[in-house]
Structure 1
């Protein structure tokens, strides 16, 4: 099994506080985020764009694997995942959607590429994560 981790540190209250996010690999190291960057459109990182980037990357890799498995030489797969956060949801802000947009090139008929693209949407691990069980361990102190 492969395990990768990301971490965050938050200091202060929701609106006046701020935090940083980092990844185990160091690709992200102490990247700032805040209430303003998440809910007010201000510059800075936010969890939804990180999920979007992970989703887009995962989808492109998975589609490439499906194409190769079907004997298709992949060209370029350019993908964006737009993650929608509804800040007005009863019970608190909720991620309500993720929308993938992909431009795919490969040496196969369009119909086949569209079929594989749909399979990749359903099968990529981050698409599955968005429906996954979430567990929690907490320590205080």
Structure 2
């Protein structure tokens, strides 16, 4: 079993407090986050952004592996995962995630690429984690 971790600390109330988030590797080190950064227009990180980054990174890496299983090798894969935080129910809920992926894959047809990307959408570890609580859809295209 492989284990990775992140840390967070929070000081103060929900709306007036602030927090810091860090990763095991130190890539994020006491990065500030707050209510305004999460729910308002203040620049800074937030949990949904971090989920999106983790999902995009996992998806791109898994797609590379799935392409190789099909005898193809990508020159480049760009993935973006947009995490939607629905506020309509009164309880903020991540209910939808959209993946945009574009890749340069010599020898791949558009249809072949889309089929492989669809499999990746179903099977990358972070997609599997998120699929239980959010609808995941995707736009995939060859560059």
Q: For 1:125 and 1:47, how far apart are their aligned partners in 2?
A: 18
1:112-127 equivalences under 5 Å are 112-127=112-127
Aligned residue in 2 for 1:74: 74
Tell me the CA shift for residue 131 of structure 1.
Answer: 3.6
Give structure 1 regions of 4+ aligned residues with deviation exceeding 4 angstroms: none
Aligned residue in 1 for 2:64: 64
- Matched residues, number: 132
1:19-58 equivalences under 5 Å are 19-58=19-58
Name the SS for the 1:130 alignment partner.
Answer: helix
1:84-99 equivalences under 5 Å are 84-90=84-90, 92-99=91-98
Q: For 1:60 and 1:79, how far apart are their aligned partners in 2?
A: 6
Ranges in structure 1 where 5+ consecutive residues have no aligned partner:
134-141
Aligned residue in 1 for 2:140: none
Name the SS for the 1:74 alignment partner.
Answer: coil
Q: For 2:59 and 2:109, how far apart are their aligned partners in 1?
A: 20
Name the SS for the 1:118 alignment partner.
Answer: helix
Tell me the CA shift for residue 109 of structure 1.
Answer: 1.4
Ranges in structure 2 where 5+ consecutive residues have no aligned partner:
134-143
Tell me the CA shift for residue 87 of structure 1.
Answer: 2.1
CA shift digits 1:121-140 (9 cap, x unpaired): 1111111111459xxxxxxx
Aligned residue in 1 for 2:137: none
Q: For 2:18 and 2:35, how far apart are their aligned partners in 1?
A: 7
| Cα separation, partners in 2 of 1:132 and 1:96, compared to 1, 3 Å | closer
Name the SS for the 1:22 alignment partner.
Answer: strand
Q: For 1:20 and 1:87, how far apart are their aligned partners in 2?
A: 23
